[in-house]
Amino acid sequence: MKAAVMGYGTIGSGVVEVLETNKDVIAERAGEPIEVKYVLDIRDFKGDPIEKRIVHDYKIIENDPEVTIVVETMGGVEPAYTFVKAMLLAGKHVTTSNKALVADKGAELIAIAREKNVNFLFEASVGGGIPIIRPINSCLTADVVEEITGIVNGTTNYMLTKMAEEGMEFDDVLKDAQAKGYAEKDPAADIEGHDACRKIAILTSLVKGQQVDFGDIHTEGITKISAVDIKYAKAMGRAIKLLASSKKTGNTYLAMVAPYLISKEHPLYMVNGVFNGIFVHGNMLGPSMFYGSGAGKLPTASAVVADMVDIAKHADKNIPLKWNPEKLVLADYRQCENAFFVRTKDSKEKAADVFGKIETVEAPGVTGETGFITSSMKEGDFEEKAKNLDVLSVIRMGK
Amino acid sequence: MKAAVMGYGTIGSGVVEVLETNKDVIAERAGEPIEVKYVLDIRDFKGDPIEKRIVHDYKIIENDPEVTIVVETMGGVEPAYTFVKAMLLAGKHVTTSNKALVADKGAELIAIAREKNVNFLFEASVGGGIPIIRPINSCLTADVVEEITGIVNGTTNYMLTKMAEEGMEFDDVLKDAQAKGYAEKDPAADIEGHDACRKIAILTSLVKGQQVDFGDIHTEGITKISAVDIKYAKAMGRAIKLLASSKKTGNTYLAMVAPYLISKEHPLYMVNGVFNGIFVHGNMLGPSMFYGSGAGKLPTASAVVADMVDIAKHADKNIPLKWNPEKLVLADYRQCENAFFVRTKDSKEKAADVFGKIETVEAPGVTGETGFITSSMKEGDFEEKAKNLDVLSVIRMGK
């Protein structure tokens, strides 16, 4: 079975490495050896063992009938979309690690794959190496998923963990993450929550079987989290985590990305550093959690190659995937009920005047402000009430 | 699609309940409705809604060509084995939650299913509702699994958690677990580690693709764990967990069931109460963990029904499962290297004489004995050396 890899960056070169390292077991599981015939990249990679397989024109792959599996690891919507669509229309199977592509064009590409009797798989697009797409599609099939909540961005989780462990300020930990290669030069996609937003859009689309537009999801990043917030979190015995969550409400879902204060009892509490964890609550299964490396060269490539093996096993058959293009109208997040941890310059009395019953929180060494937890209330109501206080920061209380 | 359920106990009635509660989504995912035509049980269940579907003779199911899926939730090797084998030979698909049957007869039943072009699935036999069998077979296909270590017995995990949280003694917590229905009247299968042993035998067989006899696995239960051990564990910032583990060594695996002292950093540390967690380390994926309800009516039934959906989607096709009947010779556990936590009546000096470099541990309120950690050494060497001390208890140090 001949394959082509489009994009020889971190993940693409990882795919070549995984196929090489575990060649024998992969051939056994796939039923035949998988060989990379082409690597598409704008660069030449002189001296690299794959040098002779480098091509610069995707049409060479598109027009080669020998190639049955195409791996897309370029990232971004274009030109990945044009290339992937061409490959599917040419009757080739595609697997991708590209969450931007899947969140934006998933429904359409799945439909094309179905029509051409090939597969469009994307296990690596959420949670890196963690099996989550396939478990949702083929393991949790007896359940109605009532909640899916994930720590799905390793960069921000590394930063929040570092802040919690070392008491560092946001700006310093961002510089550290950039120096270590965990955060990009332009870190907005991670720290503003956009990456996590695309991932929860993909998961919600799969759980509901219907298109969820990531632009509809209320998204807050971690840029406002400070060392003082972390002190309060510790005083409460909690951890601040950027959660991408989706909860069933009536016949739709309420999706949101925001930092939460979660307790030691929550399975996601122990998900630290660059690791990811995805919590799933099924109406029969109850709570479950999938944990592992949410990013990184080999873990992500491992998920891509697992898709290739699945494709090899279903070379003549489309594996049914429900993701209808009809757009799902998400529930209004302002109707969502949460308790909120608030820091304010105002007094405890003023806070109680505004919010009614509150629970104050003290953090060691923090003075000149009031920290308190509200009772559970609608997001919309909270926003209105909070206007009456001089608010320093707000973090939602998780479970 | 017509199904039959053999055994209307906790899990069997759960299967009927899951099929009823989530009827619509299950029909959609399976491609057609799944209807329970028969329930095999020795009892009559007068007045139960399934009363009219009760049969007492498995041959009625075997001989009914309308029945394509048979669920086995009776437990134990016989008569489950006879019944299941007959169903497979009659060309019916089977799914089971029965770890005793799978550990003992898995290889044979898989071979029969392959020959008859049907499926023999057993997701619920390990980890209850947690997807683990299917992830191993269809998600971790790009990896060589180097380690699989699970908390796979909810009863003992409940007991150890309770001991840790409340400082109770083993006998008291066992009575409590029995009163709550978490432990059976005869608790040996759980507390002696036999249940966990069968589960790690199944997982190792799947990971290696070869028969692992559970009788070959060195198995220690939790009966020797005392409240004093728990005090030491706390002093070390660790938790005592009954781990069923299998580690790749050369071309085979070293499998063992025993209590371990694991650190806060280990993903299994947070697996408390009746929950299960299964840690898997792939050579490309790195560490991952699957967490959820390891037992219980609806979670376990959810896994059984997920198998039924998978069967419905592959009604005309055997899903390849590698589990050759050829027996795997496991590595000798005495060659395994571990550090050991030891409690002895003897002095620190005597302990150091015997074991060389040791690290002593103090626990609040514990006097008249010495607690210490050895350096890492082979199990066999440890056993020899330990004979020279008046040992009160031994627990292996985990990661």
> pLDDT by residue (tens digit) across A343-390?
999 999 999 999 999 999 999 999 999 999 999 999 999 999 999 999
CA nearest neighbour of B316 among B26, B123, B119 = B119
B207 falls within a domain: yes
Per-residue pLDDT for A250 more than 90? yes
Tell me which chain B residue has its CA closest to the CA of residue A264.
B270
Co-location of A146 and A289 in the same domain: yes
Per-residue pLDDT for A295 more than 90? no
Co-location of A115 and A19 in the same domain: yes
Co-location of A288 and A311 in the same domain: no
Kindly name the residue from B199, B241, B247, B248 that is annotated as catalytic: B199
B139 falls within a domain: yes
Q: Which of A22, A28, A135 sits opposite B135 (nearest CB)?
A: A135
In chain B, the number of structural domains is 3
Helix axes B80-89, B99-115, angle to 10 degrees: 20
Contact B292 A292 (CB under 8 A): no
Co-location of B255 and B349 in the same domain: no
Output the domain CATH number for residue B98.
3.40.50.720
CA nearest neighbour of B124 among B114, B137, B134 = B134
Residues 6+ apart with CB under 8 A from B80: B6, B7, B72, B74, B96, B98, B100, B101
Task: Please give the pLDDT value at position B72.
Answer: 98
A84-122 tens-digit pLDDT = 999 999 999 999 999 999 999 999 999 999 999 999 999
Co-location of B117 and B92 in the same domain: yes
A201 falls within a domain: yes
A195 falls within a domain: yes
Q: Are B95 and B307 in contact (CB under 8 A)?
A: yes
**Chain A contact present for B294, CB below 8 A:** no
Residues 6+ apart with CB under 8 A from B81: B101, B104, B105
Contacts of A287 in chain B (CB under 8 A): 292-293
What ipTM does this complex have? 0.95
Residues 6+ apart with CB under 8 A from A104: A77, A81, A214
Contact A299 B291 (CB under 8 A): no
**Chain A contact present for B75, CB below 8 A:** no
A236 falls within a domain: yes
Per-residue pLDDT for B9 more than 90? yes
Task: Please give the pLDDT value at position A60.
Answer: 98
Contacts of A293 in chain B (CB under 8 A): 285-288
Per-residue pLDDT for B268 more than 90? yes
Per-residue pLDDT for B48 more than 90? yes
- Average pLDDT on B316-331 reads 94
pLDDT band at B217 (very low <50, low <70, confident <90, very high): very high
**Chain A contact present for B288, CB below 8 A:** yes
**Chain A contact present for B314, CB below 8 A:** no
Per-residue pLDDT for B295 more than 90? no
Mutate to test the interface with A, among B144, B145, B288, B300 (most CBs of A within 10 A): B288
- Average pLDDT on B23-34 reads 96
Tell me which chain A residue has its CA closest to the CA of residue B269.
A270
B80-95 tens-digit pLDDT = 999 999 999 999 999 9
Q: Looking at chain B from residue 315 to 374, which residues have their Cβ under 8 Å from any Cβ of chain A?
A: 320, 322
A247 falls within a domain: yes
Task: Please give the pLDDT value at position A131.
Answer: 96
Mutate to test the interface with B, among A69, A136, A141, A206 (most CBs of B within 10 A): A141
**Chain B contact present for A293, CB below 8 A:** yes
Q: Are B399 and B262 in contact (CB under 8 A)?
A: yes
User: Do you know the residue count of chain B?
Assistant: 399
Co-location of A241 and A156 in the same domain: yes
3-class SS of residue A389:
coil
Contact B135 A134 (CB under 8 A): yes
Co-location of B103 and B18 in the same domain: yes
B145-174 tens-digit pLDDT = 999 999 999 999 999 999 999 999 999 999
The whole-angstrom separation of Cα B224 and Cα B299 is: 30
Q: Are A282 and A144 in contact (CB under 8 A)?
A: yes
Pull the structure tokens for residue B23: 């009827």
Q: Where are the alpha helices (DSSP H) in chain A?
A: 10-21, 23-30, 58-62, 80-89, 99-115, 133-134, 154-166, 170-179, 188-191, 194-208, 227-235, 297-313, 348-355, 379-386
Give strand pairing partners of B72.
B6, B96
Co-location of A254 and A281 in the same domain: yes
Residues 6+ apart with CB under 8 A from A348: A358, A360, A370, A372
Mutate to test the interface with A, among B285, B308, B310 (most CBs of A within 10 A): B285
B330 falls within a domain: no
Work out the minimum CA distance from B292 to partner chain A, whole angstroms: 4
A136 falls within a domain: no
A216-243 tens-digit pLDDT = 999 999 999 999 999 999 999 999 999 9
B227-248 tens-digit pLDDT = 999 999 999 999 999 999 999 9
Phi, psi for B116 (deg, rounded to 5):
-90, 5
Mutate to test the interface with A, among B18, B133, B141 (most CBs of A within 10 A): B141
- Average pLDDT on B290-300 reads 94
Co-location of A303 and A288 in the same domain: no
The whole-angstrom separation of Cα A348 and Cα A330 is: 36
- Return the exposure string of B12-36: e unless at least 16 CB atoms fall within 10 Å of the residue's CB, then b: bbbbbebbebbeebbbebbeeebeb
The whole-angstrom separation of Cα A172 and Cα A165 is: 13
A251-286 tens-digit pLDDT = 999 999 999 999 999 999 999 999 999 999 999 999
Q: Are A216 and A333 in contact (CB under 8 A)?
A: no
Per-residue pLDDT for B222 more than 90? yes
Q: In what order do the strands lie in the sheet with A93-96?
A: A54-55, A35-40, A2-6, A67-72, A93-96, A120-121
Q: Which of A282, A291, A305 sits opposite B302 (nearest CB)?
A: A282
Task: Please give the pLDDT value at position B202.
Answer: 98
Task: Please give the pLDDT value at position B255.
Answer: 98
Average pLDDT, chain B: 97
Q: How far is CA B71 from CA A144, A222, B29, B64, B296, in A?
A: 21, 48, 18, 15, 17
Q: Which of B284, B306, B313 sits opposite A142 (nearest CB)?
A: B306
Share above pLDDT 70 across residues of chain A, in percent, rounded to a whole number: 100
Share above pLDDT 90 across residues of chain B, in percent, rounded to a whole number: 97
Tell me which chain B residue has its CA closest to the CA of residue A296.
B285
- Whether A199 is catalytic: yes
Co-location of A308 and A182 in the same domain: no
Contact A131 B313 (CB under 8 A): no
Co-location of A114 and A146 in the same domain: no
Contact A289 B287 (CB under 8 A): no
Kindly name the residue from A92, A199, A208, A247 that is annotated as catalytic: A199
Q: Which of A142, A286, A288 sits opposite B26 (nearest CB)?
A: A142
Q: Which domain holds residue A364?
A: 334-397
Output the domain CATH number for residue A375.
3.30.70.1150
Q: Which of A269, A285, A293 sits opposite B286 (nearest CB)?
A: A293
Pull the structure tokens for residue A1: 């079975």
Co-location of B17 and B92 in the same domain: yes
